[in-house]
Amino acid sequence: MVKLYDERDIAFSRIRLKQDTKAYQSYYEKNPSYREGDDAIREKDFLKNLKKPDLFKQRFFPIFSQNEHIMQQFYRTLEGIETKEKTHLPKNFHENIKATLKHYGALDVGIVRLKDHHYYTHHGYDYDYPKQVYGQKIKSRFKTAIVFLMPMDLTYLKRSPHIETTLESMNVYLNAAYVGLRGASYLKSLGYRSMFQSLIYYITPLVPLAVDAGLGEVGMHNHLIHPKYGDKVRIGAILTDLDLVEDGPIDFGLEMFCKRCALCLINCPMQSISFKQRRVNGKRFYKFDDQSCYKIFKNAGTDCAVCIQSCPLAYDIGYDKVMDAKNNPEKIDAIIKAHLENHGRRPSIKTPLPLVEEK
């Protein structure tokens, strides 16, 4: 049976529900098992718990506090672009659009033809774009998803769980929205209805979409892992009515690698990650406690990326070496051993970046 995803079930959607509202009462009447745990972490803005002086917050938060507003303007810009008469495109145009998105800044690009199970069934609590539509059925349908990956900087992630992680997350979310805007604008100018997804607006879950687009497999921490770039990536997607040649899922032996590594599980400060697997629509995921994961966001006042910084595949092992180790225990163990010798069990940098360092 095909599972359909509901955005209302996402932790970041659940914790934005306000107590004593109709939406709150309706959701937890249907999902009572979430209520107690969600109430313990319910807080829309975890950043206010950052353990820094107010003066630091006043100076630091404006670095990214306007990002959501900028993304809203991106959508308005796209809406203002007229969909022109369709331009004739060659059969290999999928190669052109991939190269174009890489020119804009994407690391890698994959294509998948959209099916009903790729979409969320209902809107969750988002960032008020284009207006607050919590609980409404998602009706928008496109033919194709062009999924792309954006790079994250390890020098920020290795300082997790501190404010540098939020800085990098917000920066890359904005970069992904910018690439999405440019790609969707390009396709509209060629005559094809197009939309991009971003931090403030989703109608599909991106990890399953990226897997189907051939951009990687799902790791033990439930993040996408690319065979070359590892998990230090964020996912973006453009949805369009343009028919394109699609890619297929890939297998580079990640299941065995994760079982022999498990550094994300070992290092997780909240013990949110599990060895236990589940399969959803043919994809492998691991059981994951999203409530305990979010506790460190709330307690530390910042994003946590300890699981990402822990993964050996984030450390530029090399595509050929990763592929050569596929389902080979000895070669996998050699990669993990070299990683531990070079970086330690949990690679981290204790000193703050100059950008956020107190003088």
| pTM for the whole structure | 0.95
Per-residue model confidence (pLDDT) at position 279: 84
**Quick one: pLDDT at residue 46?**
87
- Rounded distance, CA 50 to CA 32, Å? 30
The distance of Cα 221 from the centroid of its chain, to the nearest Å, equals: 12
Residues of the chain with pLDDT under 70: 44, 126-132, 358-359
Mutual angle of helices 67-79 and 163-189, in 10-degree steps: 10
Residue type, 16: R
Are 180 and 237 contacting, i.e. CB atoms less than 8 angstroms apart? yes
Domain boundaries, the chain: 1-350
* Residue type, position 119, single letter: Y
| Cα maximum dimension of the chain | 58
Task: Using alpha carbons, select from 137, 135, 116 the residue that is nearest to residue 125.
Answer: 135
Q: What is the pLDDT of residue 3?
A: 85
Residue 270: its pLDDT value, please?
A: 94
**What pLDDT is attached to residue 126?**
62
What pLDDT score was predicted for residue 84? 84
For position 27, what pLDDT does the model report?
A: 95
The phi, psi pair for 185, rounded to 5°, reads -65, -40
What pLDDT does residue 129 have? 57
- Let me know: does 43 contact 298? Beta carbons within 8 Å: yes
Beta bridge partners of 283: 280
